[in-house]
Structures are given as structure tokens and as C-alpha cells.
Structure 1
Amino acid sequence: MREFLVFQSLWAMQDHRGQNALPVEAQLERIAAAGFDGFTDHFWMPAPVQRLSAAAKALGLQIEGQLFPRTRDDLARALDVIAPHGCHHLTLQADVRAHTLGEAVSLVESWLRLAEQVDFPVLLETHRYRITNDLPFTLDLLRELPDLKLLADLSHYVAGREIPVPLAADDQQQLHAILARSWGFHGRVASCEQVQVGLQFAQHRPYVEMFLDLWQHGIQDWLARPASAGTSLSFTCELGPPPYAITDADGLELTDRWDESLQLKDWIRQVWAQCTTATN
């Protein structure tokens, strides 16, 4: 049976100053009590990995680990630390600005070979200022590496490429191509000018609907894949603190991101329910 897991980002638990007064364990207790299935956090240093793993196990939470590798050895060292503990999956924000496709292929291919040695998925995230910064370049990378699996954060392409609503046919086709190779999602709503907008403002509703439609397409695509392709799909509510969150003249946020995370969790579970009902 296939399952859908909704995570909360620990980065999203920070306040408008980028801080959180609660210890990690208390933050995770709040996440678990709110009905999330897991959390997302940096996951490569021995002490934090051990602490997060112990806390997650005690609360019955899953972990999406995050890593920001620049070289093959960065991932190799991290996998040595993570492997004894495990995680739901490891997401790579490749901190590399490749000048050529060949350079990118060589590096990512070395990561794919390392990923074969662990029993959890290793996914490459679509993200600005990373190896996947440019949408056409990432699509070229996918064509060269048919085994490459992505973690789709579409907000970076919508903001970075100033993609308007309604989606043009070419834009939709390219985003759907990303979703067809994605095994998880990071969730926030972007506009063509801002990477993270308030979910409840009326002026943002067209983008909210566009993202819900895109995530629905991604879920439907994943459900249509063979069961051997995976039995667990994740979605992380990743509403980041400033400068992602928009602020007023005093540096205070315009929305309550925790409340929005709960709203996003409910929305995406409704999307999942609609998709699974349609396939039964």
C-alpha cells in the first residue's frame, strides 16, 4: 500500500529573526502533536544526526535529511554518518554552479553511484543558486541521467523564471517534466516575482491554485508509476523565515507561518485523497 507523508521543515520553525527559543526536541513534539508525519532538517554532522534520529524515533516521526554537497566526497562522508541511523530520504541541494552540462553530469553521476550503497533514496532538489538553478539545464541533466530522481521545489522556477499565471503551454510542459522525475516535494507558493507569498491573500489565489494543480499532477504521476518505483511519497511544508517570508517596515512578517503550514498540510492531504480516490 502506498502512503503519503507530510513533513514540517525545522527551518520553517524559526521566527522572523531566524531563531527558535525551543530546543529541537520541543519543536519536534509540537510538529508531532500537530499531525505531521515527519520533519526536514540539516542531516550530516554526527552529533545532530544522532540527536535528531533519537528524537524522531521517540515521537514516531520520519526524517527528510538535507545536505549541501559540493563534491563527491561531501556526499560519501555524509552517507557514512547517516547510514547507521537511516532516514526517509536524503535531499541534496547541490552547492555547485556548473559551467557545462558535462561537468554537472560527471558530478551528479558520482552521487548516483554512491546512492546505490544506501537503503534510502537520495534526491536532487530543484533550487536556485544550485546545480539545478536553471530549468532547461535541469531538463538536459535529466535526459543525460535517466536514473536521476528529483525533489521538486517548483517555487524556485516560478520565481526565478518569472512564470506567470495562467501557465503557458511550454511552461506547463517543462514543469510537468520535472514532476515526472520527482519522488518528493517541498511546498510553498511563489508568484512570478516572489518566492514565498501569503496563502490567504486574495491576490495570491491564482498562484495557490496553480501550485495545487501542479502538486496534484505530480502526485498523480507518482501514483501511476510501478509499485517497485517506491511506496512512500513525501511533501514538506517549507515556509521559510525572512527573507523568504515578506515583512513590513518593522521587519515583522505579514502572515503566521505556523498557521499557514497547518493549512498547507490540510490542503495537500486533500489533494492526495482526491488523487487516490480517482485511481481506486
Structure 2
Amino acid sequence: MAAPNVRRPGFSRRAQYSTFANYVIAFIGVGVGLVLLAISSGHEERFAGLRTIASDAGAPAATVAASARTGGVSLWDVLTGYFTLGSRVASMEHDLAQARVALAEQAALKEENTRLKATLGLFEGEIKPVAITRLIGSTSSSSRRYATIGAGSTKGVRPGMAVRSPLGLVGRVTEVGAISARVLLITNTDSTIPVRRASDGIQAYATGRGDGTIQIRLSTTGLNPLRRGDAIVTSGSGGIYRPGEAVAVVVSLTPDGAIARPLSDPGQTDFVTVEPLYQEVLQSEADKAAEEGR
């Protein structure tokens, strides 16, 4: 028996509905495509966003295809670059580390030069210092406060010489070695300095209290004229310290004087100057004046 000319999907309704749905979807797709084609032919900018999205979605595949078209030479470059990437990155990191170290050294050198200029500027037209050196150590917890400087007898440093920072008096030399010296700080309990109030010259003595502060005791008894914030400077008596060197600032009053805070903190000081004994400076000036008078 001959087969029928029209084939049907059988008696299954599911198969019939599936075939019908496929035809409907196909016709709808064709219709939508024709409509979009008609719209885009006159208004291309309306689909710019969709084209951009499609372009981005296909970019990775396009990149791979373009790389494949470059040939064997480009492929060799890619392979060699991959295997040498680690060494090149390590070299760049090494150069960057060296550059950072050099930058830090330059910044430290600039700051050190600034401090040195400030220290040297103290002596323009004044007493010529014996040495300008670094303060290489100090005791901060002991009641007997000392410091060590990096200059000794080879630089002309001798016991009794005053040690000064850009902010004020630090102390005086007590022991001298060849390349270093020990300094008795003004906050030491064994340190006593003739001082005066900078504003009117009221005489007093500054004695270290061993706790980082200084006791100011007036030379005369009676009403205490000191006030908080008064500047205390050396008086020049005794011939060790030259007059007018900044020592401390009054922070509180006592019945016979005041408690003062030193202006120069050894823990925050890098460079100091060592000054000659004031009595020797006076003697030298007197000798010069005598020679000129002859």
C-alpha cells in the first residue's frame, strides 16, 4: 500500500502543538526582524545602545581572533614576555625600593642641614664655638641626668665649657675623652647656674630637680616677684656661662621662687655647640684691647 502524501505528526496532541508553536515563533521572529529592519533603516541611532552591548559581549572573542591573526612572531613575543615577566617585575621593584631609600635619605639630609643652619646662625657675630657636634646620648630616667656629645679633646673641648642647643642651654662639660665628652645637664641635681629674669634682671639660682624641671631660688628674700611665663636666662656670674643664654620658662610658683621648664630638651636635640669659658672670652678680649692700646 502506498504511503499518504501528507504526513502528520501522529495522533499525539503534544507533538501537534509543538509543531504549531514552532511555526508561530518562526513567523513572529521574521515579523519582528522586518519591523526592526524598517525602523533602523531610517533611525540608526535608536539602536546604538544595543549595538554597544553586543560589541562589548563579542570583544573577548574578537581579541582572541585578532591575536591569532598576528602570526608566529607575535605568538613568540607573547611567550617570551610571559616567561620574562617575573624578572622584569622584580627588577622594577628593586629600582623602586632604591628610589624610596634615596628619597628618604634626601629628606633626612635636608632636615639635618636645616638644623645645622639654625645652630650655626646662633653664632653670627657672637662668641665663636669651640665645636659643633651631635648629642649622641642622654639619661632620661635617672635623677642624675647626663648627656654625651661626639666631640672631645681633639676638638678642643675641656671641662667646664657650656653646651648649648638652638633653643637654649643644655649643660656643661664635666668629663672629656679624645672623641667624646660627658655633659652635666641643667636638670641634674648637681647643677647650679646663676640666672636672672630676662625682663628686669632679678637675680636667682637655677638648680636641677632630677625630674626634668628646674628649681628657681631668688637671691633675696621677701615678696616673690616671679610670674608664670617669665623667661629665665644666665646672668654671667661665675665666669662659666655667658650672660643672656636662654635657660627655662617659669611654670609654677613656690614661696622662695618658682619651678621652671627647660627650653632645651636633650631627648629632642640632635646638634649642640660647645662654647668656651666666658671668663676666657673676657680675658681674650681684654688682651686684644691692651694690644691695640699699645
User: Greater share of strand residues, 1 or 2?
Assistant: 2
Q: Is TM (by shorter chain) over 0.5?
A: no
Bigger Cα Rg: 2
Query: What is the TM-score normalised by the length of structure 2?
Result: 0.24
